[in-house]
Amino acid sequence: MKPHCCFQGRRLWPLGSPLTDRTSRARFPEARPGTTSREATAVAPPRLPRTGTWEGANMADSALPDATTVQVLRDLANRLRVHSIRATCASGSGHPTSCCSAAEIVSVLFFHTMRYRQTEPAHPDNDRFVLSKGHAAPLLYAAWAEAGGISETDLLNLRTIHCDLEGHPTPRLSFVDVATGSLGQGLGAACGMAYTGKYLDKASYRVFCLLGDGDRFMMTM
């Protein structure tokens, strides 16, 4: 019997190895049985412009998305909300409102702006994403579920004792670079990553940091 992905060592997936079902799933998931015509058209938009072998779109090439892409991103944002609420309800704890308020931001970042390899979440050239408001972790997990890295069933194991989908992001997950439990820590870490990438690594990756209102009141800001 194949072990549950949350039990494969200290990481949800081993570094450098393909993620579960990622090679067979499209970036925008196929319509499920019973979806409306609007949902069906939303999940299969034209591919966004991109460069090289990146699986994410290049922001400079697609700064003004067309109406179809905008609708796709809106529908994805709502799906992220649904995933987040289901996960927090299943665990009996969490911050669903913090997830819902940032759904559009995460939808645009993950499915339009960021450049990253879906099958290699720890690739050194991937764009970085730091969730400074770490209590919105279910939203991050939902984004990876929509990208094909986590099954919807896995999301329902949020905060269980043997699952790496914790209440705050943990670097035990191969797609998490920074553990953000305390508010106000993420921005400093993201700035350090950006500085390192530009001046030390001479790399092309970009760093995105999502802050919450609570971050503004921390002395580290």
Q: Is residue 219 very low, low, confident or very high in pLDDT (cuts 50, 70, 90)?
A: low
Mean pLDDT of 120-145: 93
The DSSP element (H or E) to which 96 belongs, if any, is: helix 96-101
Residue 214, SS3? helix
Residue 18, domain member (yes or no)? no
Indicate whether 113 pLDDT > 80.
Answer: yes
pLDDT in tens, 177-210: 999 988 888 999 999 999 999 999 999 999 999 9
188 in any annotated domain: yes
Q: How many domains does the chain have?
A: 1
Classify residue 17: in a domain, yes or no: no
Rounded CA-CA distance 85/111 in Å is 20
Report the distance separating Cα 217 and Cα 184, nearest Å.
Answer: 8
Tens of pLDDT, residues 176-185 = 999 998 888 8
Find the helix packing angle between 137-147 and 67-91, rounded to 10°: 120
Cα distance between residue 136 and residue 88, in whole Å: 10
Best CA proximity match to 187, nearest among 165, 207, 167, 166:
207
What does the alpha-carbon distance between residue 177 and residue 67 come to, in Å, rounded to a whole number? 33
Find all residues with CB under 8 Å of 105, minimum gap 6, and list them: 210
Q: Tens digits of per-residue pLDDT, 47-72? A: 333 333 344 444 334 467 889 999 99
DSSP string, 132-184: SSGGGHHHHHHHHHHHTSS-HHHHTTTT-TT-S--SS--TTSTT--S---STT
Q: Is residue 197 part of a domain?
A: yes
> Tokens standing for 56?
């994410």
In the block, which residue shows the tokens 């764009």? 127
Q: What is the pTM of this model?
A: 0.71
User: In this structure, are residues 149 and 183 in contact, taking their beta carbons and an 8 Å threshold?
Assistant: no
| CA separation for the pair 147, 83 (Å, rounded) | 13
Q: Give domain status of residue 124, yes or no.
A: yes
Domain contains 122: yes
Q: Residue 52 falls within a domain, yes or no? A: no
- Does pLDDT of 144 surpass 50? yes
Which position has the higher pLDDT, 81 or 37? 81
Query: Which CATH number covers residue 207?
Result: 3.40.50.970
Q: Which domain holds residue 80?
A: 64-217
Residue 181 falls inside a structural domain: yes
